Amino acid sequence: MKLLPMFPLEIVVFPYESLNLHIFEPRYRELIEDCQNQDIQFGIPYYRSDYALKFGTIVSLQKVSRTYSDGRMDVKTRGIRPFELKRYVKTHPGKSYPGGYIEELYWETEGRDYLRSSIKEKLSELYHFMNIHKWPKILDKNFVTFEIAHKVGFSKSQEYEFLQIASETDRQQFMIDHLSRMIPMIKQAEEMRQKVQMNGHFKEITPPNI
**Mind listing the domains of the chain with CATH numbers?**
2-104 (2.30.130.40), 113-198 (no CATH)
Q: Are 73 and 19 in contact (CB under 8 A)?
A: no
pLDDT tens digits, 37-67: 999 999 999 998 777 789 999 999 999 999 9
At a CB cut-off of 8 Å and minimum separation 6, what does 111 contact? 144, 145, 168, 169, 171, 172
Taking CB atoms within 8 Å and a gap of at least 24, the contacts of 195-199 are none
At a CB cut-off of 8 Å and minimum separation 6, what does 68 contact? none
pLDDT at 1: 85
Checking if the pLDDT of 198 tops 60, the result is no
pLDDT tens digits, 104-162: 999 999 999 999 999 999 999 888 877 777 877 888 888 999 999 999 999 999 999 99
Checking if the pLDDT of 193 tops 70, the result is no
User: Rounded to an integer, what distance in angstroms lies between the CA atom of residue 91 and that of residue 173?
Assistant: 39
pLDDT at 199: 55
Banded pLDDT at 191 (limits 50, 70, 90)? low
Percent of the residues in the chain that have a pLDDT greater than 70, as a whole number: 89
